[in-house]
């Protein structure tokens, strides 16, 4: 179970937001959550043996073509959901695996973490105001001892804190989230010179799972607006985010050969349309697949594909990319 103090603080914040917030004119009409998803596997094997993350997605090709192939398979997972890929679980399971949330309601911090996205928010008719916004930093900061099957025996294994972090600003009433930090346990282990294994990686570690469990928890506090996530913003894809940045730039060049640099500003953002909507044949869909196959957007696609009961067949219908100096920003529109 989540720590009583953390759960109580979050509940008070959510009730305050619910009392004050109302959807903007023209916002998506939400329904009720009527189905409970399948439970997530929490035996410590999820990251390494689950069919939810198909090994064939990891192709042995150039980074760009690799991303294209990943994107194609993820698109197929979204539009052709299979029961073996479906996952679920509860917010409380995050603490079982050592994750600890920190909530943020200070507007100066929220404005800092959403800076550069204001024009996009306006176009999408959403507002990250004090009444509608809550920041949640989910950090893997606690050692946990859990039972694991090893060589046919059940043993108690201590999974040490990796200090991984997934941090976002949420607007549950309008179905939007801004992701600004995504450092996975595997990334942090490799950064410290360790190879990720079953024994040193928490059973819940994929960004799609952490994103889903957090969103499910927030959506359950807003039943009249339903669980329909509409916009996922990815803020600050920098030069350190290789090869993601290079892949996105190649996709932009292939989609618009006149580009000499990433389009600057939201008003010049490039829209990658869902497959079949480009009007230029199948090969013209590859730039969309490539962007979909990069780390951040891949996590969003996995979340939708693996939780079809909650998201009711919605997919990433388009992806917008634009620049702000040396930064790249993006938003996935879910419909």
Q: Is the peptide bond before 243 cis (omega within 30 degrees of 0)?
A: yes
CA-based R_g, the chain, Å: 19
pLDDT tens profile 57-107: 444 468 999 999 999 999 999 999 888 888 878 899 999 999 999 999 999
Q: What's the rounded Cα separation, in Å, for the pair 123 and 171?
A: 16
Mean pLDDT of the chain: 82
pLDDT tens profile 218-252: 888 766 555 589 999 999 986 555 689 999 999 99
Residue whose tokens read 């989540």: 2
Sign of the alpha-carbon dihedral angle for 233, 117, 220, 9: positive
User: pLDDT category, 55, cuts 50, 70, 90?
Assistant: very low
Domain interval for residue 307: 4-334
Q: Is the pLDDT of residue 212 over 60?
A: yes
Reference 140, options 75, 85, 206; nearest CA is 206
Tally of domains within the chain = 1
Contact (Cβ atoms closer than 8 angstroms) between residue 297 and residue 316: yes
Phi, psi of 177, deg, nearest 5 = -145, 145
Reference 271, options 127, 118, 123; nearest CA is 123
Report how far apart the first and last C-alpha atoms of the chain are (Å, whole number): 33
């Amino acid at each position: 179970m989540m720590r009583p103090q953390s759960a109580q603080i979050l509940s008070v914040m959510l009730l305050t937001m619910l009392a004050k917030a109302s959807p903007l004119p023209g916002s998506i009409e939400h329904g009720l959550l009527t189905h409970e998803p399948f439970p997530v596997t929490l035996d410590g094997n999820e990251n390494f043996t689950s069919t939810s993350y198909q090994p064939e997605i990891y192709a042995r090709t150039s980074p760009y073509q690799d991303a294209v192939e990943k994107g194609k398979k993820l698109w197929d997972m979204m539009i052709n959901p299979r029961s073996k890929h479906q996952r679920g679980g509860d917010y409380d399971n995050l603490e079982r695996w050592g994750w600890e949330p920190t909530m943020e309601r200070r507007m100066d911090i929220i404005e800092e973490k959403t800076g550069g996205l204001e024009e996009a928010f306006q176009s999408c008719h959403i507002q990250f105001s004090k009444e509608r916004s809550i920041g949640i930093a989910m950090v893997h900061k606690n050692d946990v001892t859990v039972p694991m099957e090893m060589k046919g025996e059940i043993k108690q294994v201590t999974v040490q804190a990796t200090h991984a972090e997934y941090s976002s600003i949420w607007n549950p009433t309008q179905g939007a989230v801004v992701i600004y930090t995504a450092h996975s346990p595997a990334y942090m282990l490799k950064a410290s010179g360790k190879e990720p294994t079953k024994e040193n990686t928490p059973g819940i570690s994929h960004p799609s799972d952490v994103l889903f469990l957090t969103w499910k928890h927030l959506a359950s506090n807003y039943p009249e607006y339903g669980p329909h996530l509409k916009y996922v913003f990815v803020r600050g894809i920098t030069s350190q985010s290789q090869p993601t940045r290079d892949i996105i730039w190649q996709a932009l060049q292939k989609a618009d050969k006149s580009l000499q640099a990433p389009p600057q500003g939201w008003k010049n953002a490039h829209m990658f349309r869902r497959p079949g909507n480009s009007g230029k044949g199948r090969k013209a869909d590859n730039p969309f697949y490539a962007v979909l196959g990069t780390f951040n957007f891949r996590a969003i696609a996995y979340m939708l594909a693996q939780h079809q009961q909650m998201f009711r067949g919605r997919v990433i219908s388009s992806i917008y990319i634009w620049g702000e100096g040396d930064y790249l920003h993006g938003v996935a529109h879910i419909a």
